[in-house]
Structure 1
Amino acid sequence: MREDRQVPNERLVTLDALRGFAVMGILAMNIVAFAMPEMAYVSPKAYGGETAADLAAWALGFILFDGKMRGLFSILFGASMLLIIDRAEASGQDPGSVHYRRMAWLAIFGLCHYFFIWWGDILFLYAAVGCIAFRFRAWETRRLIKWAIGLFTLGVVVTSLFFGAQLAVGNAADNPASPMAEAGREVRAEYARIDGEVSEELALYRGPYLPILGSRLDTAINPFIGVLMTILETLPLMMLGMALFRNGFLTGAWSAADYRQTALRWLPPGVLLTLLVGWIQWRASFDYLVAVNAFMGWAGPGRLMMTIAYAALLMVLIKAAAGASWLARVAATGRMAFSNYLGTSIVMTTIFYGYGLGLFGDVDRWTLYLFCIGMWAIMLLWSKPWLDRFRYGPLEWLWRSLARGRLQMMRQ
């Protein structure tokens, strides 16, 4: 374990660049949720799994991206949170006041994002869990890592037991002699409703805006349910981010050899576990019960291993490319991650929803990556020129101004 290191007060290019890679990588999976019914993200059986190319695209997303970029983003949120707390303390401010004001406004942004733009918001989740993570800010690195791994493992066990019980009961429906046969048929019937829900989503998101807004208002509890369902994944990842910030991993203080060793330690087992979970889903013909178990529980360990390995590999790349113009663009994209994240939601919902171009459900999985690449290009092209003229991204400026209670200087 490396000793904790002091961090300078200037921008940390490593954090910015990692955040840039993460916010672009998140779109590689979110693009499915923008363009297809919700369950298509979990199982290609629900939608977008009709051809071999569709299944190959699903496999590519599941193995390489699903949960890994979100995990990296969560880790970076924990690191950035700690950085801001440290700087508040160094400047004589009350870190609790600074932090909770930021989280309160982030929660408001998240709820606005959910209700008015897109159902897949993570900002409210980060704000809620960030309030809890603040309690661990003074913990030393080793303790943070131990508790993070413990809580993450607990989350995997709890979700696997919960959804695994549904799977076991559902499988009893095939055995008329089983005392659980009737309960199994009820579970299967509940999951069979997904096909009808897919049809309802297609009609909803191919239509005008107001019915979509009404649907969100009817499901106002969902952001809060999301916190309860994912807290044992998100909180440990934030704690890992705090630990990896403290020990220098995320600030570039480790050697390239250390980063490569970390990647080699965690990438092979992570890939193997992820491949196994993907194979199980394929063998089950992407049965909804199996897919939900895989998504919520079984994929967790491999997902975490690959997230850490990706972070290490990206650190090798960032250190090797120090000073490169392309890396400066990635870092600028990361500095404006808030604006780019919400901006992506606005652009993609306008493209796919009925009040925009109306392409919802009409684009296959492979072709969706073209939209993804196009959005990446927009992020890279606009972020650096904007920051050459202004101190913050537009939404970063608004968030900072609201949290501080006064307008911040915008121009360079």
Structure 2
Amino acid sequence: MGILLLNIVSFAMPGDAYINPLAWGSGRPVDLAAWGVNQLLFEGRMRGLLALLFGAGVLLGAARAERRLRWHYARMAVLALFGLGHGYLLWNGDILLHYAILGCLLPVAWDWSAGRLVRAAIVVLTLQTLLLSLQFGAAFVFRAAAEAPGASESLVAGYRAMIASFPQPGSATVAADLAAYRGEWPDILDYHWNVRGDAPLRLLQFAGGETLGYMLLGMGLARSGMLTGQVSGRALGRMMAWGYGIGLPALAGLTAWAAATRFDPIVLMGNFLAWSIPFRVATALAHLALVLWLARRFAASTIVQRIASVGRMAFTNYLATSLVMTTLFYGYGGALFGRIGRAELYFFVAAMWAAMLIASPWWLARYGTGPLERLWRALSGRIANATQ
């Protein structure tokens, strides 16, 4: 549900608008406010929590399954197939293939202690932060050299080519996205294959370390008992205080910096991919603690039970959201792509949330598990048994 707060922009607007709020739209104060709230509270946190829970699920599944290695790789193979279909046939923002690839690394850490898993997560996240920070720090140096008096033509041309690849108003990417996603499904399929075909590799390059770090962190938290209710309310309160106390002021500063530079492309990309990582992790853990506390405090409430049902059908709901939103926004359906303001997109989010909260309990009450969860399990079992 939280991921849709971010993904809705990618469903409804050119991809550059996801990072740069001026890349598409009017730049109204309400739109900039929507962007700022997401940067402060949700960007990277929702993906992080999903990856964290994915890692926890892998660990818990391994503890239950016989022939666990064969079963795990069968599950990852089926997930990869779903991801390929989702990413190329429906929506180019797929995360399933990304998780399947990185999930293949997790058996190495199955038997590690909670402490070792958390330490490994910190190492991976730190390395990702440092490597990308150096890369975007070098971009500032590159710009200074290109703008210095007497800079060579080749240096200036190289800098301009770099900046042209960053999200910004009037970019070639914005024009290409508008042309493709306002077209029919064959046009979109061709665009995904021939223009955006390297999207899974780029996602691994720029986000693989962060995603793997969250997965390891989730495994560690599952092993420690935090995700199964074995942590006191006081401990959850301390996690919230530390996480929000460290993360929110830093993220507010980074967001303000981006706005003060009038959304400078290097600042935006550096914040998005590198400098915000430690603070996103801190606030993601605080969000996790808050959700655990609320779920414990209001466990008997109808809304918590409905949200739990949505979670039990997360795979189905994730893909159903892509189907609904692409049908609404792409040219072969409602043809709303690029025609709805950023702030107004959250009416679509609210409607989809309502649909999930109504449909998920209804389905589970009758069938016990989500349709795609059942299919994933059945196909994985067939592959696992076939490879004995």
d(CA) in 2 for partners of 1:121, 1:207 = 20
CA RMSD of aligned residues (A): 1.5
In the alignment, is residue 200 of structure 1 matched against residue 176 of structure 2? Answer: yes
- CA separation of 1:176/1:182 partners in 2, compared to 1, >3 Å: closer, same or farther? farther
- Residues 158-211 of structure 1: CA deviation (Å, up to 9, x unaligned): 1111222123202333222457x7524422344236512201211211111111
d(CA) in 2 for partners of 1:103, 1:49 = 42
d(CA) in 2 for partners of 1:288, 1:185 = 17
Counterpart in the other structure of 1:183: 155
Counterpart in the other structure of 2:241: 264
CA contact (8 A) 1:49 1:55 kept: no
Mapping 1:205-224, distance limit 5 Å? 205-218=181-194, 219-224=196-201
Report deviation, 1:378.
Answer: 0.5
Mapping 1:117-128, distance limit 5 Å? 117-128=90-101
Counterpart in the other structure of 1:81: 58
Paired AA for residue 367 in structure 1? E
d(CA) in 2 for partners of 1:107, 1:67 = 22
Q: TM-score, normalised by structure 1?
A: 0.89
Moved beyond 6 Å, runs of 4+: none
Of residues 346, 368, 380, the one that matches 1:369 is 346
CA contact (8 A) 1:386 1:393 kept: yes
In the alignment, is residue 96 of structure 1 matched against residue 69 of structure 2? Answer: yes
Of residues 172, 175, 193, the one that matches 2:145 is 172
d(CA) in 1 for partners of 2:349, 2:273 = 25
**Other structure's SS at 1:339 match:** helix
Counterpart in the other structure of 1:392: 369
Counterpart in the other structure of 1:20: none
Report deviation, 1:343.
Answer: 0.3
Counterpart in the other structure of 2:386: none
d(CA) in 2 for partners of 1:227, 1:192 = 22
Counterpart in the other structure of 1:17: none
Report deviation, 1:125.
Answer: 0.5
d(CA) in 2 for partners of 1:213, 1:178 = 42
- Residues 235-281 of structure 1: CA deviation (Å, up to 9, x unaligned): 11000000000111111111111101111011121001111111111
d(CA) in 2 for partners of 1:190, 1:148 = 31
CA contact (8 A) 2:145 2:151 kept: yes
Gaps of 5+ in 1: 1-23, 407-412
CA contact (8 A) 1:259 1:312 kept: yes
Paired AA for residue 318 in structure 2? Y
d(CA) in 2 for partners of 1:267, 1:133 = 29
**Other structure's SS at 1:236 match:** helix
- Percent identity of equivalent pairs: 41
In the alignment, is residue 132 of structure 1 matched against residue 108 of structure 2? Answer: no
Counterpart in the other structure of 1:54: 31
Paired AA for residue 345 in structure 2? L
**Other structure's SS at 1:80 match:** helix
Counterpart in the other structure of 1:33: 10
Q: TM-score, normalised by structure 2?
A: 0.94
d(CA) in 1 for partners of 2:156, 2:278 = 28
Counterpart in the other structure of 2:335: 358
**Other structure's SS at 1:231 match:** helix
d(CA) in 1 for partners of 2:156, 2:353 = 45
**Other structure's SS at 1:405 match:** helix
In the alignment, is residue 403 of structure 1 matched against residue 380 of structure 2? Answer: yes
d(CA) in 1 for partners of 2:278, 2:157 = 31
Gaps of 5+ in 2: 384-388
Range 186-195 or range 114-123, more displaced: 186-195
Counterpart in the other structure of 1:155: 128
- Residues 95-148 of structure 1: CA deviation (Å, up to 9, x unaligned): 101100000000000010001110000000100101101210100011111111
d(CA) in 2 for partners of 1:360, 1:166 = 32
d(CA) in 1 for partners of 2:144, 2:23 = 19
Range 47-56 or range 334-343, more displaced: 47-56
Paired AA for residue 264 in structure 1? A
